[in-house]
Amino acid sequence: MNSPSFNIAAVERDTGLSKDVLRMWERRYGFPVPNRDGNGERSYPPEQVERLRLIKRLMDAGHRPGKLIATPAEELSALAPRRSAPNTVIRDAGASGELDELLALIKQHDGSAYLQAMQQLLARQGLQQFIQDTVAPLTRHVGEAWEAGSLEVFEEHLFTELTKRLLRQAISTLPGGKRKPRIVLTSVPDEPHVLGLLMAEALLALEGAECIPLGTQMPLFEIGRAAEAHRADIVALSFSAAFPQRRIPGLLQQLSVLLPATSELWAGGGGVTRVAKMAGVVLLPTLDDAVSAIAGWRATHP
Amino acid sequence: MNSPSFNIAAVERDTGLSKDVLRMWERRYGFPVPNRDGNGERSYPPEQVERLRLIKRLMDAGHRPGKLIATPAEELSALAPRRSAPNTVIRDAGASGELDELLALIKQHDGSAYLQAMQQLLARQGLQQFIQDTVAPLTRHVGEAWEAGSLEVFEEHLFTELTKRLLRQAISTLPGGKRKPRIVLTSVPDEPHVLGLLMAEALLALEGAECIPLGTQMPLFEIGRAAEAHRADIVALSFSAAFPQRRIPGLLQQLSVLLPATSELWAGGGGVTRVAKMAGVVLLPTLDDAVSAIAGWRATHP
DNA sequence: TTCGAAAATTTGTCCTAGACAAACTGGATG
DNA sequence: CATCCAGTTTGTCTAGGACAAATTTTCGAA
């Protein structure tokens, strides 16, 4: 019964901290201090991995590693989220009781009750309202709960998986076929979040666009090729709020070079709220923006 | 008009070759030879990135990097797949004409025609047969075409995305609720392929199991917690044929320690065909195995 | 006191270059 | 033809140094 231990690659996988960072922290801060196996290679005991995971979580919430590592163990109380500025309260004001109820079903791990409640809401509100007033605020809500540490990883996965299904099911009932504009929907590598993409797809399809969903994490080269092959009028990318904002301008820059001249580039999602305007790229921080952008496109492409 | 160039992180992202490997190849084989920017950091021109992407594709098909790098440019003709042993011809013998037709629709980028054809097949065959005789062989077919290089990345993404939708839609029509056994379905980090998971979910749900889908790429820790929280009878993992087989025993070993004693661990998919038996893990190389495993579980849990 | 610019710090990523184990290849032998 | 062994190939790990970008702190002026 050897207690399990983790090599550096396993720790990178489980914590999301790169090997470079793990070695650098050890050098700089004296934590983590893994054992060494027969080949002199790092071998992390589970407690240290657990602590690293906690630290990473708090870092994602806006804390700084130097402080966190210095804190002994009562950091558990430092769970207070920092980034969650109470700014984007747009449509869901007052309804957060309802959101809390939905979230509670997830936390009770009752998937079928959650699905049922959501399907009821969809039937009552209609797809557009359902997305804008329920799914979008709920997704934000979940993101905040996650940052605050009040949601387990697997609970977030369950939420995402079930909500994906709801949206895809709703999309499949919409008319398909050749319509205008033709929009390729995807996300860049390192951006695995798909819910924003699905919400956008549903709204755009409702507006009469032909959506070509390519899933997440397309290499930039391939996005260019796909736009060409599908003769896309628009390439729409989704960036979640968790995506590092500083990387976005560079990615959009590179991509705009790779796209055919006939394709527009749209970038939406919580990740682009604070990105500066760029030539050749349309920024759509909210779902409303996406809807009105379609109207704009129609006006200029008779 | 500066031609775009890529730093080492961008190349890692676009090619899937790690920074370590890129530096090592440069040292050993003299390729790639990136330029250096003002800070002495590597800056890869697009041609080299393109060549690297090609090399990576051929490596995934079973070729070795040393040879590939030495080959000048007529490697384009070396596209012949190697790994695709013509062994797993089980149920789809004779029907590959039909599969080719479906694949052709994807290559014409005609998503709606593909969806329509598949929905017709589903209606004709029923869900179980549809999965075993159409979806599974088609997925293998696509995997082989991908290895052979006759399918673009974005075409594979389109196939995956549309097929996911079909399966999820079919699953959502099955009865939910509390049934037995209760099965948590997911995959390990670095295993993003979801189709096998969905096929398994559909078949298991048909057999009367309660499936809890958690999506792909769950950290091992979290899989253990999820099993506990959902009081899962079974944790089922999916490994695609593309997953490095040598890593599987270690992962299963680590995971079996993390699971509650009351949960069984099942591992299925093309990735486990050549994995050696282990104590405490049920291996299910084919979908048929999964179906009969449910019957076996029922027999031992009255 | 409040604002904004400059200085100091924190932090991640990149660099070189060496070592070694695991996986694969090609024989030689039973 | 199967099996084992030696030689090669290949990826990943290690160490410590450097530096730029981001953030915090300090300081001077309004």
**pLDDT tens digits, B164-175:** 999 999 998 888
**All residues at 6 or more sequence positions from B129 whose CB lies less than 8 Å from its CB, including other chains:** none
- Greatest distance between any 2 Cα atoms in chain B: 72
CB of B178 lies under 7 Å from some atom of strand D: no
Instruction: Take residue A239 and report the two structure tokens written for it.
Output: 């960036």
Residue pair A138/A102 in contact (Cβ under 8 Å)? The answer is yes
Strands B182-186 and B210-213: parallel
Could A221 and B53 be called an inter-chain contact, meaning their C-beta atoms sit closer than 8 Å? yes
Contacts of A161 in chain B (CB under 8 A): 213-215
Read off the amino acid at residue B294. I
Lowest mean pLDDT among A108-122, A272-286, B47-61, B189-203: A272-286
Residue pair A227/A263 in contact (Cβ under 8 Å)? The answer is yes
CB of A23 lies under 7 Å from some atom of strand D: yes
Q: Is the peptide bond before B260 cis (omega within 30 degrees of 0)?
A: no
Q: Which nucleotide is nearest to A37 (CA to C1')?
A: D13
pLDDT of residue B93: 45
Strands A234-238 and A264-268: parallel
**DSSP string for A162-217:** HHHHHHHHHHHTS--SS-SSEEEEE--TT----HHHHHHHHHHHHTT-EEEE--S-
Query: What CA–CA distances, in Å, run from B271 to A109, A206, A255, B54?
Result: 30, 40, 34, 24
Q: Is the peptide bond before A32 cis (omega within 30 degrees of 0)?
A: yes
What predicted TM-score, i.e. pTM, was given to this entire model? 0.84
Q: What angle do CA A111, A126, A100 make, to 5 degrees?
A: 40
- The arithmetic mean of pLDDT across residues B185-206, rounded, is 93
pLDDT category at A267 given cuts 50, 70, 90 is very high
Instruction: Take residue A157 and report the two structure tokens written for it.
Output: 């996965």
Task: Tell me: pLDDT of A12 over 50.
Answer: yes
Percent of chain A with pLDDT over 70: 90
CA–CA separation, B160 and A31 (whole Å): 42
pLDDT category at B5 given cuts 50, 70, 90 is confident
pLDDT of residue B76: 59
Distance from CA of A222 to the nearest CA of B (A): 6
Considering only residues 20-79 of protein chain B, which place a Cβ less than 7 A from any atom of strand D? 20-21, 24-25, 28, 39, 59, 64-67
Task: Tell me: pLDDT of B138 over 70.
Answer: yes
Could B220 and A14 be called an inter-chain contact, meaning their C-beta atoms sit closer than 8 Å? yes
Alpha helix stretches (DSSP H) within chain B: 8-15, 19-29, 46-60, 65-70, 96-107, 111-125, 127-129, 136-147, 153-172, 195-206, 220-229, 248-258, 287-300
Q: Which nucleotide is nearest to A42 (CA to C1')?
A: D13
CB of A7 lies under 7 Å from some atom of strand D: yes
- The arithmetic mean of pLDDT across residues A224-236, rounded, is 95
Could B190 and A13 be called an inter-chain contact, meaning their C-beta atoms sit closer than 8 Å? yes
Looking at per-residue pLDDT, the higher value among B301 and B185 belongs to B185
Residue pair B238/B265 in contact (Cβ under 8 Å)? The answer is no
Q: Which of B253, B204, B261, B250 is nearest to B227 (CA)?
A: B261
Q: How many CB pairs under 8 A join A and B?
A: 126
Q: Which nucleotide is nearest to A27 (CA to C1')?
A: D16
Percent of chain B with pLDDT over 70: 90
Helix or strand run (H / E) with residue B268? strand B264-268
CA–CA separation, B202 and B119 (whole Å): 15
pLDDT of residue A79: 58
Could A109 and B152 be called an inter-chain contact, meaning their C-beta atoms sit closer than 8 Å? no
**All residues at 6 or more sequence positions from B155 whose CB lies less than 8 Å from its CB, including other chains:** A229, B106, B107, B109
How many C-beta atoms lie closer than 10 Å to residue A289's C-beta? 15
**All residues at 6 or more sequence positions from A117 whose CB lies less than 8 Å from its CB, including other chains:** A101, A102, A105
Could B14 and A229 be called an inter-chain contact, meaning their C-beta atoms sit closer than 8 Å? no
CA–CA separation, B16 and B56 (whole Å): 8
Query: What CA–CA distances, in Å, run from A139 to A99, A154, B73?
Result: 10, 15, 48
Could B161 and A215 be called an inter-chain contact, meaning their C-beta atoms sit closer than 8 Å? yes
Residues comprising chain A, all counted: 302
User: What b-and-e string marks burial along B106-118, b requiring 16 or more CB atoms within 10 Å of the CB?
Assistant: bbebbbebbbebb
Looking at the C1' of nucleotide D8, which residue has the nearest alpha carbon?
Answer: B66
pLDDT of residue B78: 56
Long-range contacts of A228-232 (CB under 8 A, 24+ apart): A228/A260, A229/B109, A229/B152, A229/B154, A229/B155, A230/A182, A230/A184, A230/B109, A231/A182, A231/A262, A232/A182, A232/A183, A232/A184, A232/A263
Residue pair A34/A9 in contact (Cβ under 8 Å)? The answer is no
- The arithmetic mean of pLDDT across residues A209-229, rounded, is 92
Residue pair A79/A149 in contact (Cβ under 8 Å)? The answer is yes
Instruction: Take residue B95 and report the two structure tokens written for it.
Output: 């029907």
CB of A33 lies under 7 Å from some atom of strand D: no
Contacts of A160 in chain B (CB under 8 A): 215
Task: Tell me: pLDDT of A178 over 80.
Answer: no
The 8-class DSSP code of residue B134 comes to I
Q: Gap from A275 CA to D5 C1', in Å?
A: 61
Looking at per-residue pLDDT, the higher value among B236 and B152 belongs to B236
Residue pair B131/B171 in contact (Cβ under 8 Å)? The answer is no
Task: Tell me: pLDDT of B92 over 70.
Answer: no
- The arithmetic mean of pLDDT across residues B131-153, rounded, is 86
Place of tokens 């949960």: B263
Q: What is the separation, in whole angstroms, between the first and last Cα of chain A? A: 72
**All residues at 6 or more sequence positions from A10 whose CB lies less than 8 Å from its CB, including other chains:** A44, B254
pLDDT of residue B83: 44
CB of A18 lies under 7 Å from some atom of strand C: yes
The per-residue pLDDT of chain A, averaged, comes to: 86
pLDDT of residue A78: 56
Residue pair B28/B70 in contact (Cβ under 8 Å)? The answer is no
Strands B234-238 and B210-213: unpaired
